[in-house]
Structure 1
Amino acid sequence: MKVLYFAWLRTRIGVAQEVVEPPAEVTTVGGLVEWLKTRGPTYASALANTKVVKVAVNQEYVPYDHPVGPGDEVALFPPVTGG
């Protein structure tokens, strides 16, 4: 599974993207985010407030109960505003 981090998430975690192999019990976006938090203090801090972390799976915005699988691309980013 490829995970992409954008904006301040990338800065706080320290990587722009990575390939991860979460445990088999991680089957949803929410489960993935919770698992990522266990990977270290930078992840836990950056992902602490899930209300401000938006997610896209395979380039489509999804809720935290959306399923994820090994071949998916998951993007995590703060809310986007425009003018």
Structure 2
Amino acid sequence: MKLQITITDEEQKLLAKRAAVLGYDVTKFAKFLLSHEAMKVSEVPTYKMSEAAEVRTRKAIAEDQAGKTKKWIFGKYGN
């Protein structure tokens, strides 16, 4: 999809200043703004856990806080 908009020189200068702070050009910054705003209004679906899953989760959190877990680094152990 291609989107074309017309902005004033003043608007372009303001966008360019804000974009420069992030190291972006105006086009990339405009895309950033659009995606940032879209994320604000999108809803992340949530689902209720089953009772069994909730019990296992609470147990796992308690074990982790008690230091009973080990750190696993993906790829370190040949997998």
Between Structure 1 and Structure 2, the one with more strand by share is 1
Q: Quick check: which has more Rg, 1 or 2?
A: 2
* RCO comparison, higher one (Cα < 8 Å, 6+): 1
- Using the size of structure 2 for normalisation, the TM-score is 0.22
Return the structure number with greater helix share: 2
What TM-score, normalized to structure 1? 0.22
